Amino acid sequence: MVLNSMEKPSSSRKSSTKVKASSDANTSLSMLNEDLLQNILARLPAVPFASAACVSKAWNSLCNRILSRPKLSSALSLNPSLPDAVNEVVQRVLSEPIRPHFAIANTGTGFCTSKTLRLIRQSLGSNIPIIVTVANGIIGRDAITDEFKEVKWGALFSGFGEETYAKSINEGLVLTVGYLPGLKVEAVPLRRPQKSSQAPWVDNFIKDIKEYSAIASGRQFPVGIILFGEASSDMKLVLEKLDYAMPMETIVVGDERGSFDFVHKSGNDSRIICSKRGNVEAVALVFAQDRDRSLGTIRFHVALSDGVSTVGPRYKAASVRSNPTDCATWLTARREGQQELLDGQSILLDINNLLDNHIESPDLYIGVIKHRKFSTGAEKPMPRTCVAYHGIVGGDEEYLYVDGIGIKTGDFFQFYFSDPNTASASLTKVHEALKNITLERNSKSFKGDGDSAANVFGGLIFACYGRGESFFGRPNVDSSPFLENFPGVPFSGIFCGGEMVRPCTTVIGQCEGASPFSCCLHVYSTVYLAMSYTPPSVED
């Protein structure tokens, strides 16, 4: 089944019978008034709806009217059979009229990304960008039961008493399909040959994004970017340069680490690219204004729920050794304002003593304040300050060991620990921020039913794998701001290995008491992307 295909009538009937049936059908349909026919067409699944749009100019006009507004559709399946799981989610997302402009599928490690991509292309076609990633878990509504689920891959305990056993859960997927009239969408890869410096390739990546946006909209900067990094990549430099190069209006969200396959279009040609075989470090799904089509305004809104708290004093890096091969850093440090040189063992002992009142040992990170100069291409480097989180690996009598590179001697840093209380408090702020998104009833052209007519038509969630039910003690907490603010609005999400977002505020616009430092890559956080639509104004 391909979405834009049309079903052929059966050849078993006699020609005269078909002519008479066709004539009767046309006569009956011609007697339907326009509103009734539109109501019937709006109830069709996507495939017969696409066929109906080809019947006549009048029907095509009605179908265009039905799909005059943007739409997001998503579904989740935990069926252990890949073909069956893909069939379930495809049937669900195509159960209503939609013309896909892009598709994102997130799977567990039990599913092959290339096979998943091939099966989805058979249903959606090859003329749209499709990205398939391996995530740490999936979020969405079950395609069969309609139950909302947050699922992290891992062990599920089954049975009773001595017969209890652990079953590994890593098979399933969530599929998200979007129709965004007024925007153009394309997958742009970040290519980096092995053993080559990352910086020039990041510059080329940003250049490719700007060029695509300029061709699509006449503007260098896109509306938004959904970014997926490869499992072994370090996206800090990518995000720091994107943050420098893009205006605040350009939204960036995504998952730092996962493997992926995707369809990339070059002119009229479509190619499948695999992150493992194509020297591709990341792929960006770029959303740019369509210069040839304006049917209202689509906006991207972001919100961030923090999940870490500070502990202990500030430190200053004294000696730093980077290991690019292992993407790790060894360092010693001094407390701010003191001269005593501290090794990793001494530093961690002080921090752990401060955390003695915690029942469970939290995950530890350092947040490094980096004063750097950034540029893209031949531009003059400009000063910029950002914060980068690095996970604590350990410490001994010589060094403190942390994940990632890019730390320099003289950089200040502070320790952070995972904290469900901080996360719960920030979720309350996110809930209120999302609640304040403008309602459609403020538009003169809207004919809806008052307070229930929010103009948010869909969304995506990127949550840290460390969060979820095990972190909060109850299910679906990370999804609650969407579930409670936008009931019935389709959204989906994943559990990540690094949550990416810019601009870094509670919601678009500077929040009260916000840090002046930029931070685009977070830990123990949840990122919310809400998509809203404002119809074109109607002149009196």
Cβ pair 362, 355 in contact under 8 A: yes
Euclidean distance between CA atoms 245 and 503, whole angstroms: 12
Summarised one tens digit per residue, pLDDT across range 359-392 is 568 999 999 999 988 888 778 888 888 899 999 9
Cβ pair 164, 158 in contact under 8 A: yes
Q: What is the pTM of this model?
A: 0.87
Domains of the chain in sequence order: 302-306+421-506+516-534 (no CATH), 309-418 (2.40.30)
Summarised one tens digit per residue, pLDDT across range 259-315 is 777 776 555 566 677 666 668 889 999 999 998 777 788 999 999 999 999 999 999
Summarised one tens digit per residue, pLDDT across range 164-206 is 444 567 899 999 999 999 999 999 999 877 766 767 889 999 9
Euclidean distance between CA atoms 78 and 106, whole angstroms: 12
Euclidean distance between CA atoms 45 and 278, whole angstroms: 37
* DSSP codes, 464-508: ETT-SHHHHSSTTTTTHHHHHHSTT--EEEEEESSEEEES-SSBS
Banded pLDDT at 124 (limits 50, 70, 90) = very high
Tokens of 249: 């209006």
